Amino acid sequence: MVEIEIDGQLVNAEPGEMLIAVTDREGITVPRFCYHKKLSISASCRMCLVDVEGAPKPQPACSTPIADGMKIHTQNERAKASQKAVMEFLLINHPLDCPICDQGGECELQDVAVEYGSDVSRFSEGKRLVAPSDIGPLIQTDMTRCIHCTRCVRFGSEIAGIMEMGGTGRGEDLKIEPFLAEGITSELSGNMIDVCPVGALTSKPFRYELRSWQMNAIESIARHDLVGSNLYAQTYKGKVKRVVSGDNDSVNETWISDRDRFSYEGLAHEDRLLYPQIKVEGQWKEVEWEVALDYAVKGLKNNILNSRNAQKLGGLASATATTEELYLMQKMLRELGCENLDYRLNVKNLDQTIHLASNIKLAKLEQVDYALVVGANLRLEQPMINHRLRKAQLAGATMNALNVKEFDFNYPVSNTVVSPNQIASTLAGVLKRVLEAKSEKIPEYLSTLTPSAEATDMANTLLGAEQAVIILGEHVLNNTQASSIANLITEIAKHSNSKTLNVSATANALGAQRVKFTPSSTGMNVNDMLNAEMSAFLLLDVTPEYDFHHVNSALSALSKEDVFVVSLNSFGNELVSQYADVILPMAAMYETSGTHINIDHKMQSFSAAVSAPGEAKPAWKILKVLADLLELPGFHYENSAQVLSEVAHQSEVEHEYDSSININENTSAIETIWMHSPYQSDELLRHASSLQASKIGQMNTASMTQATADTLSLKSGDRYLGVPIDVTDAMADQCVFVSSNQATNTGGLS
């Protein structure tokens, strides 16, 4: 710590830190355009010039390191004169089109111009004009307004990890633009809108909608992944009009993924359910809430309760639901004497489940020196977790990926590509080498195994690392050896003193686990329910063709003549209409209060930013009233916070699980790994049109090797399970990796 003087005021600062960081901390205003706290320093805009005593010229605060005894003036005549001069230059080519510019009202240039700009321009020559370019469905460009701060360029190369924007030409001809005709494709691209200090990059879906001062900004939490990025929903007259990122260094720093930023568009989709509906003699009728609830309660009573047959009732929910909703639903089912409940709808075989702890904090991920990613394409599936790992890699960490396909990480990763049935044996090889190195007893099941060269390398790096993490992802969810793979990772971590991160179930899966939204030993899991003789189902936010692994069995189980189905949904769906008897319209994301539990086990609560459209209600309220009408005790909640406090008072129970390990490569069949494209992972996203139009949203390929294609008698141009095939040698044989924006195709999956 040294002492410096800023505008006559004594301030403590670290030697070497940049002056602008100190002034920001002390609340002293220094204007700037190119400086951004999370980006490298370019010192190109010169707006932050200040007067440093002893320096011959004004110095840019963003690139002037602190030294002991410095005396700085940010407001004296010299500083002001320099800032005004810079402002005049910046405005030479800037069009004064603020009235039609979307940035107007939240524009850093506009704000600074008010204070430092002159009211009359001395520039009478022609201004520069830049032809518009289309860089995709998410970002609107008006590059005539660009002031060349290069924040978007630096964001691309430093944070997004792919340099897509760049400065071409020079001098007056300098243009910021992407090189590729396909425009900007990064999964984090929307942050360029936030960092752009002017109206050059603005939100395309929000174009010409509103002024920033017309909207309320309401703090909220994104619910599409395991991070729960902090953000602001900006609302106007009861509608979410735009989403911008919030600041939380322990969660999402200051970035949010495009998925979190643009999903709100789905809220206004025409398929939203606005009124409760009941099916009378095969005909759907919109009715009052009382009628619908009464109908639901009567149906449940007739089908199960009156005959004291709660074992024939099943409760299924999507993991996107809030913790409170899941808690109320399980409480209601259990009060009815029903133990049949599940959220793991996309798991093929629930005898093979993944039990793996997440015991490293998000913020600590960037400090690891070795990461092994198993079965995940992190960039698309968990963008903010990937961002932390990228930071670790840039700081020198070694990265390994054990996948069925070489995925496009935005940092160097050494890929080990194996077929699905070799993942377990590869990890077993790692475990054997670790145990050997620690001179520990080799268990029976490893005795005859010869670790592969890759496994040996992984073990050596793991043992040499100070802090390693092993990450298990979604692609392993339906592996025939899923539980063994998870158990192997637990063992490896235990013996090598590493951390583990379980990203195999996403959204609010941890909330569902916290409230025990899984059957106890007496109940049935989802797949059991689909195969049993059930009499009634209660469904929370379930979209059958995307959510279930066994889509066909699910549809036939739900569509049976004598099965009474109450379905809570936010969007209309043809299949739901076919099998349901009552459809209750529920509030979607941003329309309900609730809590999301993220990978750090952090409970992040949010309030409703807007109320739901039409007659739709928050699901926790619907469930509460349903429970009241069923005359169940203990549902006297006035708000969701009371529900949460009940959840918080419940102790977390460690689940017993099968820790056995079986590494026999027991199948030679071709395995299909079906992943929805990242913008298809929940109902709101599926209705967000701009995301769907983006390159990631359009992803629809079934990747396989030539050998696999030959075995399946497929050739280029063919489809596999309805998905166009992509023959590549950057993946393993014996498997097909589908990344699709279509509904799950059960052809080869059920």
Partner 1 sequence: MISDKAKKQIDAWVAKYPEGRQSSAVMEALKIVQAENNNQLTHDNIQAVADYLDMPGIAAAEVATFYENYNHKPMGKHVIRFCHNISCMLNGADDLIAHLETKLGVKTGEVSKDGLVSVKKVECLGACVGAPMFQIGDQYYENLTIEKIDEIVDGLK
Which parts of this chain interact with partner 1 (CB under 8 A)? 157, 162-170, 178-180
Rounded to an integer, what is the distance from CA 336 to the centroid of its chain?
35
3-state secondary structure 124-156: CCCCCCCCCCCCCCCEEECHHHCCCCCHHHHHH
Q: Residue 735: CB partners within 8 Å, gap ≥ 6?
A: 404, 419, 420, 670, 671, 672, 673, 704, 708
CB of 445 to partner 1, least distance (A): 42
CB of 436 to partner 1, least distance (A): 33
Q: Which pair of structure tokens corresponds to residue 539?
A: 């469904």
CB of 122 to partner 1, least distance (A): 24
CB of 151 to partner 1, least distance (A): 15
Instruction: Give the N- to C-terminal CA distance of the chain in Å, as an integer.
Output: 64
CB of 167 to partner 1, least distance (A): 6
CB of 464 to partner 1, least distance (A): 22
Nearer to partner 1, 290 or 729 (CB): 729
Q: How would you classify residue 81: left for phi > 0, otherwise alpha for psi between -120 and 50, otherwise beta?
A: alpha
Nearer to partner 1, 19 or 135 (CB): 135
Nearer to partner 1, 147 or 376 (CB): 147
CB of 179 to partner 1, least distance (A): 4
CB of 185 to partner 1, least distance (A): 12
Nearer to partner 1, 152 or 709 (CB): 152
Q: Which pair of structure tokens corresponds to residue 37?
A: 């706290």
Q: Which DSSP letter does residue 544 get?
A: H
CB of 730 to partner 1, least distance (A): 16
Nearer to partner 1, 397 or 608 (CB): 397
What is the distance between the alpha carbons of residues 640 and 618, in angstroms, rounded to a whole number?
10
* Residue owning tokens 């190195």: 437
Which residues face 272 on adjacent strands? 571
Strand pairing class (239-245; 414-417): unpaired
H or E element that contains 432: helix 423-437
Nearer to partner 1, 168 or 716 (CB): 168
Q: How long is the chain?
A: 750
Nearer to partner 1, 707 or 730 (CB): 730
Nearer to partner 1, 157 or 701 (CB): 157
Nearer to partner 1, 393 or 419 (CB): 393
Nearer to partner 1, 241 or 390 (CB): 390
**E strands along 111-159, which residues?**
139-141
Distances in whole angstroms, Cα of residue 123 to Cα of each of 89, 90, 424: 9, 11, 70
Q: How would you classify residue 721: left for phi > 0, otherwise alpha for psi between -120 and 50, otherwise beta?
A: left
* Cα maximum dimension of the chain: 91
Q: Which DSSP letter does residue 433 get?
A: H
Q: Is the alpha carbon torsion for 562, 563, 566, 570 positive or negative?
A: negative
CB of 174 to partner 1, least distance (A): 9
H or E element that contains 286: strand 283-286
What is the distance between the alpha carbons of residues 39 and 362, in angstroms, rounded to a whole number?
20
